[in-house]
Chains A and B, each alone.
Chain A
Amino acid sequence: MSFLSNLFNKRSSAPIARDRLQILLAHERMSVDGDNQDDLLAKLHREIMEVIKRHISVDQDKVQIKMDRGAQCSVLEIDVEVPGLTDRLSKKD
Chain B
Amino acid sequence: MAKVLVVTSGKGGVGKTTTTAALGAALAKTGQSVVLVDFDVGLRNLDLIMGAERRVVFDLINVIQGDANLAQALIKDKRIESLSLLPASQTRDKDALTAEGVAKIIAELREKFDWVICDSPAGIERGAQMAMHHADMAVIVTNPEVSSVRDSDRIIGMLDSTTEKARAGEKMPKHLLLTRYDPQRAASGDMLGTDDVLEILSIPLLGIVPESPDVLKASNLGAPVTIAEPNSAAAGAYMEAARRLMGEDIKVTIPTERRGLLDWLFKWRAA
B153 and A25: CB pair below 8 A? yes
Range of interface residues on chain B? 10 to 19
**Would you give the shortest CB distance from B245 to chain A, in whole angstroms?**
26
**Which of B49-57, B183-191, B250-258 lies at the interface?**
B183-191
Q: Does B105 touch A at the CB level, under 8 Å?
A: no
Q: Does B157 touch A at the CB level, under 8 Å?
A: yes
Q: Does B150 touch A at the CB level, under 8 Å?
A: yes
A-B contact count (CB 8 A): 41
Q: Does B76 touch A at the CB level, under 8 Å?
A: no
Residues of A within 8 A of B48 (CB): none
B200 and A22: CB pair below 8 A? yes
**Which of A9-17, A38-46, A49-57, A62-70 lies at the interface?**
A9-17
CA distance A18 to B154 in the complex (A): 16
B188 and A6: CB pair below 8 A? yes
Chain A residue with the shortest CB-CB distance to B186 = A14
Residues of B within 8 A of A25 (CB): 150, 153, 200
A17 and B192: CB pair below 8 A? yes
CB 8 Å contact bits of B143-184 with A (1 = contact, 0 = none): 001100110011001000100000000000000000000000
Q: Does B111 touch A at the CB level, under 8 Å?
A: no
CA distance A72 to B76 in the complex (A): 50
CA distance A29 to B168 in the complex (A): 22
A14 and B192: CB pair below 8 A? yes
Where chain A touches its partner, the secondary structure class is helix
B150 and A21: CB pair below 8 A? yes
Residues of A within 8 A of B150 (CB): 21, 24-25, 28
A12 and B190: CB pair below 8 A? yes
Residues of A within 8 A of B190 (CB): 12-14
Q: Does B248 touch A at the CB level, under 8 Å?
A: no
CA distance A13 to B189 in the complex (A): 6
B200 and A18: CB pair below 8 A? yes
Residues of A within 8 A of B188 (CB): 6, 12
Q: Does A75 touch B at the CB level, under 8 Å?
A: no
Residues of A within 8 A of B161 (CB): 34
Residues of A within 8 A of B146 (CB): 17, 20-21
Where chain B touches its partner, the secondary structure class is helix
Q: Does B193 touch A at the CB level, under 8 Å?
A: yes
A14 and B154: CB pair below 8 A? no
B192 and A18: CB pair below 8 A? yes
**Would you give the shortest CB distance from A2 to chain B, in whole angstroms?**
11
Chain B residue with the shortest CB-CB distance to A20 = B146
B200 and A21: CB pair below 8 A? yes
Q: Does B67 touch A at the CB level, under 8 Å?
A: no
**Would you give the shortest CB distance from A13 to chain B, in whole angstroms?**
5
**Would you give the shortest CB distance from B230 to chain A, in whole angstroms?**
32
CA distance A34 to B157 in the complex (A): 10
Q: Does A4 touch B at the CB level, under 8 Å?
A: no
Q: Does A32 touch B at the CB level, under 8 Å?
A: yes
B157 and A21: CB pair below 8 A? no
**Would you give the shortest CB distance from B166 to chain A, in whole angstroms?**
13
Known contacts A14-B190, A17-B192, then 20 further A-B pairs from the complex at CB < 8 Å, ordered by chain A residue: A6-B188, A12-B188, A14-B189, A14-B193, A14-B196, A15-B189, A17-B146, A17-B196, A18-B196, A18-B199, A20-B146, A21-B146, A21-B150, A21-B200, A22-B200, A24-B150, A25-B150, A28-B153, A29-B157, A33-B157
A-B CB proximity, top 7 nearest? A12-B189, A18-B196, A14-B189, A13-B190, A17-B146, A25-B153, A14-B192
